[in-house]
Amino acid sequence: MTHRVAVLDKDLCQPKKCGLECIKYCPVNKSGADCIILNEEVKKAQIDEDVCNGCGICVKVCPFDAITIVNLASELAADKIHQYGPNSFRLYKLPTPRKGEVVGLLGRNGMGKSTVVNILSGNLKPNLGRYENPPEWDEILKHYSGTELKSHFDKIKNKQLRASIKPQQVHHVAQAFDGTGKELIEKYDERGISRELIKELGLENSMEQNLKELSGGELQRLSIAAVASKDTEFYFFDEPSSYNDVFQRKSVARVIHSLAKIGKSVMVVEHDLTLLDYLSDYIELLYGEPAAYGIVSNVLSTKIGINVFLDGYLPTENVRFRDKKF
């Protein structure tokens, strides 16, 4: 048995500019069933995953490469955490925040990192794949009964969890906040540690400058300081090393480690494997097909996780997620 994943890139699908080859050449359609149809409401192709046999003919004949068909193990169907809609991206499994430890997330872009962050921070309610009939919190909590994530979602349900998130694109911070570095830090400093953070991250000369005047590295470290100064239970840092040199990266790592030392749950997405090795207590891999589906691995020790990522093979789950080793 296989679990079918059919994803349509709605931006690439152009029914007015093609001969609807996906519909014409689908063998299931030819047998009389409705596997691929033209959705008249949105004027895009729509694929019925329950009827699809996974032959992949539609993928080959689509002139715009808008279709992705993947056959996954049937066991994964029970681990579907969220799906945005029909023929759209879906996420399987979630990483687990750990109090007093740094969990590193490692994987290619387009694997569901943003979905993970939004779910774990409480900004997105997981629908367990039921986008037409999303479950209530009681059902979600029952789904996670007996796992560490249950207590995390309990806090989200009861609005007892606050999260502090450092985004990947730090220039968005300068676009959203019109003021100086000092004004930004003072706005978010709930722990009264702004002076220590400014010194540790070498931001003394950035305090009186407008955010729009700062370099990429200064803006990155200022964003990290603002996030770390908030008093929350869960911290997430997306590529905190970008734009910084090796000495500044060590300072960033010390700030992130300091949060774990006071019992906070910390997650980090980082593509610098050296920094990730230095930072993380554990690693969880994200693999799959970009913009189609993402799977979160079981927790691994840091060194094993990095080696597995480089090797492209996950022995504990018997999955090869990349054809070549790095």
Q: What digits encode the pLDDT tens for the residues 119-156?
A: 999 999 999 999 999 999 999 999 999 999 999 999 99
Shared-domain flag, residues 226 and 299: yes
Average pLDDT on 160-177 reads: 91
Q: Is the pLDDT of residue 243 over 90?
A: yes
Q: Is the pLDDT of residue 324 over 90?
A: no
Q: Is the pLDDT of residue 294 over 90?
A: yes
**pLDDT at position 322, please?**
85
The confidence band for 301, taking pLDDT boundaries of 50, 70 and 90, is: very high
**What is the chain's length?**
326
d(CA 105, CA 286): 7
Going by the DSSP 8-state scheme, the letter that residue 204 receives in this structure is: G
Shared-domain flag, residues 44 and 169: no
Average pLDDT on 227-246 reads: 95
Q: Distance between alpha carbon 23 and the CA centroid of its chain, in Å? A: 33
pTM of the prediction? Answer: 0.91
Shared-domain flag, residues 71 and 214: no
d(CA 307, CA 326): 10
Shared-domain flag, residues 106 and 77: no
Average pLDDT on 94-108 reads: 96
Average pLDDT on 81-96 reads: 96
Residue type, 278: Y
Say which residues have a Cβ less than 8 Å from residue 293's Cβ, sequence separation at least 6. 5, 7, 70, 72, 89, 90, 91, 92, 112
Say if 291 falls within a structural domain.
yes
Domain that holds residue 81: 1-17+31-51+64-87
Residue 181 maps to which CATH number? Answer: 3.40.50.300
User: What's the chain's average pLDDT?
Assistant: 94
Shared-domain flag, residues 38 and 105: no
Nearest Cα to 9, choosing from 40, 47, 37?
A: 47
**pLDDT at position 296, please?**
97
Percent of the chain clearing pLDDT 70 (strictly above): 99
Number of domains within the chain:
2
Give the largest CA-CA distance in the chain.
71
The confidence band for 1, taking pLDDT boundaries of 50, 70 and 90, is: low
Say if 110 falls within a structural domain.
yes
Nearest Cα to 234, choosing from 146, 119, 147, 143?
A: 119
| CB neighbour burial string for 64-98, b if at least 16 within 10 angstroms, e if fewer | eebbbbbebeeebeebbbbbeebbbbbbbbbbbbb
Q: Taking a C-beta distance cutoff of 8 angstroms, is the pair 25, 61 a contact?
A: yes
